[in-house]
């Protein structure tokens, strides 16, 4: 059994009383992270050449279960000639310095996100 299958089996065994509040907390934290990344991008984009596509591409994507979400940026709206502008913002290019927004925002929020999720889990377990 792979680690992913093992995780799926464990997560599917959680009762709804625990699962629902935990899923809500995870979604809330993912949405807050996505919003923080959008805010960081708004500060970094330089008009008039920037279109706002990068900001709009910051989204929360559902995973295989309600407890798995991804915060993503970039994609079709920001890709031209096979290269995603999100990468050039994050890591820079030979013509532009890095303007990190994705990982720096995650690093800044990581502990608060984990604390909020842990608190939601603790409350859910206390209410079972």
Beta-carbon contacts of 58 under 8 Å, excluding residues fewer than 6 positions away, are 34, 35, 37, 38, 41, 71, 72, 73
Handedness of CA 64, 66, 72, 77 (dihedral sign): positive
pTM value is 0.78
Inside any domain, residue 52 = yes
Quote the pLDDT of residue 47: 63
Query: Does residue 12 lie in a domain region?
Result: no
Q: pLDDT digit string (tens) for 39-92?
A: 998 888 766 566 688 889 999 999 999 999 999 999 988 998 888 989 988 999
Render 58-92 in DSSP notation, one character per residue.
-EEEE-SSTT-EEEE--SGGGEETTEEHHHHHHH-
Q: Determine the average pLDDT of the residues in 20-35.
A: 95
Number of domain units in the chain: 1
Print burial letters for 101-114: b (CB count within 10 Å at least 16), e (below 16): bbeebeeebeeebe
> Would 86 be classed as within a structural domain?
yes
Q: Does the pLDDT of residue 114 top 80, yes or no?
A: yes
pLDDT digits (tens, 9 = 90+) for 91-110: 999 998 999 999 999 999 99
Q: Is residue 36 part of a domain?
A: yes
The answer to whether the peptide bond before residue 48 is cis (omega within 30 degrees of 0) is yes
| Domain range for 78 | 17-126
Asked if residue 100 belongs to a domain, the reply is yes
Give the pLDDT confidence score for residue 6 in this predicted structure: 83
91 in a structural domain: yes
End-to-end CA distance of the chain: 30
């Amino acid at each position: 059994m792979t680690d992913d299958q093992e995780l799926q089996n464990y997560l599917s065994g959680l009762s709804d009383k625990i699962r629902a509040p935990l899923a809500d907390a995870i979604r809330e934290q993912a949405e807050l992270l996505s919003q923080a990344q959008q805010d960081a991008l708004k500060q970094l984009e330089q008009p008039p050449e920037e279109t706002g596509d990068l900001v709009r591409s910051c989204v929360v994507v559902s995973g295989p279960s309600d407890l798995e979400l991804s915060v993503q940026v970039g994609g079709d709206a920001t890709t031209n000639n096979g290269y995603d502008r999100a990468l050039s913002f994050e890591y820079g290019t030979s013509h532009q310095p890095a303007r990190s927004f994705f990982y720096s925002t995650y690093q800044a929020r990581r502990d608060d996100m984990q604390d909020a999720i842990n608190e939601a889990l603790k409350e859910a377990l206390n209410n079972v």
